[in-house]
Amino acid sequence: MRMHHFISVLVLALALPLSASAAKTARKAPIKNTETTAIDETPKTIAMPSLRTEALQENLINDSQKKSIRTDARIEGMLSLKDPHENVQERGWLYFLQFSLQSFQPAGRAETDFHYTFDLSNNSHTAMPALFFGFENNLFKTDRMTLRWGLGARFGYTSQNAKVVFPSGYSESDARLNTLVLSAAPYVMLSLPSLPSWGFKLGGEFGTLSYTQTSSNDLATFSKQASYRAFVLGLNYSLSKAWGLTFDYSQRKLTDAQQTIAIQRDNFELGSRLIW
């Protein structure tokens, strides 16, 4: 029995060093890969932009969007921009300024305060410029025609060298004859859709004619005036939406038949007309 106990103690003593050596060997040995590969779940660090970079990028995007919006708005405005004179002929009220030119011949006889009489028709023809300005409005309008009415004031003036010869045969070389024509002119204007560029005018004039002769010699000076009325026919041709040419024919006659001065009966005027 004692012998058996001794053998057990001896075996145990020998086994303890061997176990420690095996454990130490196991710690040093590398771990072999198994068939199942483990997934590396360690979170990776992603490079994130700084707050300043994000702010700069956001500002660039906002500026780009604003410029795009402004450009689109500008393009849209340009595409939708309309000519202010596009339908000027179709508006209700409109205004006009007309410049015209005609050949004018003084007529009649004028007596001075010193009882010298001069024949005005002895003077040559001259060019008389005139300004005519006023307004128009629709009278009525249909699919076949448009009728407008208008009213304007006309101002014509010319100055020319006058031929002055006294009964004694003495002539005055520095005399000038000044002619002034002022009038109010109502009219109606007809236009047709088939002839959109043309306007046909019918109207009248009620005005004053004035002849004034100046000279260094008081014996050759005078100033005479008289009222007149006229019948007017005219044609307007539109070159654009706000500008055109005019041609007017008028027959003028003094209202006072006792006047010695006279006015040219047949008058032809060519002009240019601006409307707005």
Q: Which of 36-45, 209-218, 230-239 has the lowest mean pLDDT?
A: 36-45
Q: Which of 13-17, 53-57, 154-158, 193-197 has the lowest mean pLDDT?
A: 13-17
In this predicted structure, the answer to whether residue 200 has a pLDDT above a threshold of 80 is: yes
- The pLDDT confidence band at residue 194, using thresholds 50, 70 and 90, is very high
Q: Which residue has the higher pLDDT, 73 or 119?
A: 119
How far from chain centre, in Å, is Cα 50?
A: 53
Q: Please, what's the b/e burial string for 47-71 (b: 16 or more CB within 10 A of its CB; e: otherwise)?
A: eeeeeeeeeeeeeeeeeeeeeeeee
Rounded distance between C-alpha atoms, residue 30 and residue 47, angstroms = 35
Rounded distance between C-alpha atoms, residue 49 and residue 63, angstroms = 20
pLDDT (0 to 100) of residue 162: 94
When computed from its CA atoms, the radius of gyration of the chain, rounded to whole angstroms, is 54
- The pLDDT confidence band at residue 34, using thresholds 50, 70 and 90, is very low
Under CATH, which number does the domain 88-275 receive?
Answer: 2.40.128.90
Q: Which two tokens stand for residue 275?
A: 């409307």
pLDDT (0 to 100) of residue 58: 73
Q: Which residues are CB-contacts of 95 (< 8 A; sequence separation ≥ 6)? A: 133, 134, 135, 136, 275, 276
User: Where in the chain are the domains?
Assistant: 88-275
**Mean model confidence pLDDT for the chain:** 82
- Entry field: residues in the chain: 276
Q: Which two tokens stand for residue 211?
A: 């002849």
Rounded distance between C-alpha atoms, residue 140 and residue 137, angstroms = 9
Q: What's the pLDDT tens digit per position in 219-273?
A: 999 999 999 999 999 999 999 989 999 999 999 999 998 999 999 999 999 999 9
- Reference 164, options 238, 218, 209, 235; nearest CA is 218
Arithmetic mean of pLDDT, 115-120:
93
In this predicted structure, the answer to whether residue 55 has a pLDDT above a threshold of 90 is: no
Angle, alpha carbons 233-238-241 (nearest 5°): 135
pTM score: 0.67
Helix (H) or strand (E) run with residue 221 in it:
none
Q: Which residue has the higher pLDDT, 89 or 226?
A: 226
